[in-house]
Amino acid sequence: MRVTQADIAKIANVSQATVSRVLAGDDHVEPILRDRVLRIMREKNYRPDVRARSLRLQQTNLIGLVLKRPRGALVDDPFFAALTSGIVDALAAKPYHLCLDYVTDQASQEHVYDEMLRSRRVDGLILVEPTARDERVELLQRDKFPFVIIGNPHNDEIASIDNDNVVAGRIGTEHLISRGYRKIVFLAGPEGFVFSDDRVDGYVQAMVDAGLQPRVVHCAFGLEAARDASLALFDGPDCPDAMLVLDDFMAYGTYMAARSRYMEVPDELGIVGFNDSLLCRMAEGGLTSVSLNLDLMVRRAVAKLLDIIESGQVTTPAREIVPCAISVRGSSSSARGVVQK
């Protein structure tokens, strides 16, 4: 016999209203009650009747996520794997599921968002990698469609979860400087992406404060693009002694390029990435990375979006900042000839 919401309420010794609030992700439910209800749901293998609820509320119970990358570029990227699995995990105890779309170019992205809004096939959207003047944001605001951004929309009234990426850029740069590196290059993504530009700003601030010359190189996202850009730097007339790289996937491309040129890491080249992904354990000695607390960002983004969907309004504060910290490994232990005290 199928377990019902009434059964869960009876076993947990709570009201059906409390069970409904737990399913809706209501933050006002006492943690002890919420944990008890969720535990019993797992034990009884309870699954909400999504179709009945959808018909009643005229909802699809789907959360949309659209990822844009060149064909084949998402397969190995640990950031997007962690992002999507984090969203799925955060929705596991809720009556919602993830609807994932993958596009390869701007025209395809515009088509997908337009279709989603016209068909209303999702109840809300999670946006990633916002640009300085993001047309997606303008479109969704104009349509009054529920959404939340993982990133910096440069507007404190828009629902968003993010790190302070300027601070993250400073943290990575100051770490390399403290380890004796001086010719530090920032390998950034394409210009116009806010998270990349913010990290560049933090890097430049730290370099200038230390009396060092900033040097920023932009390239396409992805491991191969980072590898090729790094090789061009290593083969050029002014080879860096350290690289701060936009994310771990790209940083591993830099690591591969260094290995192909027989450069010793960290003696001849220090490397620091961002995201602190599992990829950091694959480099010999480990890859130093600025942890952005992605798991917490995803959980908060999902909770905020569901609250917007259920309540019809953005709760305050609209913008939330998650702290970041550096995880030091062998790729940046010290420049050659520098003794760490």
213 with 189, same domain? yes
Q: Is the pLDDT of residue 26 over 80?
A: no
Q: Which two tokens stand for residue 154?
A: 């440069």
303 with 156, same domain? yes
Task: Establish if 272 belongs to a structural domain.
Answer: yes
Residue whose entry in the numeric block shows the structure tokens 């960290």: 266
299 with 250, same domain? no
Band the pLDDT of 256: cuts 50, 70, 90: very high
What is residue 73's predicted lDDT score, i.e. its pLDDT? 66
Task: Establish if 52 belongs to a structural domain.
Answer: no
Q: What 3-state DSSP class applies to 243?
A: strand
97 with 134, same domain? yes
Which CATH number does the domain housing residue 302 bear? 3.40.50.2300
86 with 116, same domain? yes
240 with 314, same domain? no
Looking at 19-23, 196-200, 322-326, which range is the least confident one? 19-23
Mean pLDDT of 156-182: 96
How far is C-alpha 271 from the chain's CA centre? 21
Task: Establish if 340 belongs to a structural domain.
Answer: no
101 with 130, same domain? yes
Band the pLDDT of 52: cuts 50, 70, 90: low
For residue range 75-97, list pLDDT tens digits in order.
678 888 899 999 999 998 888 99
Contact partners, residue 305, CB within 8 Å, separation at least 6: 63, 124, 125, 126, 146, 147, 148, 159
18 with 125, same domain? no
Query: Where are any strands of DSSP class E within the chain?
Result: 62-68, 97-103, 124-128, 147-150, 160-162, 184-188, 216-218, 242-245, 270-274, 288-291, 319-321, 325-327
Task: Establish if 138 belongs to a structural domain.
Answer: yes
Contact 135, 144 (CB under 8 A): no
Task: Establish if 136 belongs to a structural domain.
Answer: yes
286 with 169, same domain? yes
State the pTM of this model. 0.77
Name the phi and psi angles at 335, rounded to 5. Answer: -70, 155
Name the phi and psi angles at 182, rounded to 5. Answer: -130, -35
Task: Establish if 169 belongs to a structural domain.
Answer: yes
Band the pLDDT of 74: cuts 50, 70, 90: low
Q: Which two tokens stand for residue 144?
A: 């009054």
Looking at 15-19, 87-91, 117-121, 286-290, which range is the least confident one? 117-121
- Per cent of the chain over pLDDT 90 is 57
26 with 87, same domain? no
**Mean pLDDT, the chain, integer:** 89
What is residue 168's predicted lDDT score, i.e. its pLDDT? 98
Task: Establish if 245 belongs to a structural domain.
Answer: yes
Residue range of the domain that includes 30: 5-47
65 with 30, same domain? no
143 with 206, same domain? no
**Number of folded domains that form the chain:** 3
Which CATH number does the domain housing residue 15 bear? 1.10.260.40
Q: Is the pLDDT of residue 48 over 80?
A: no
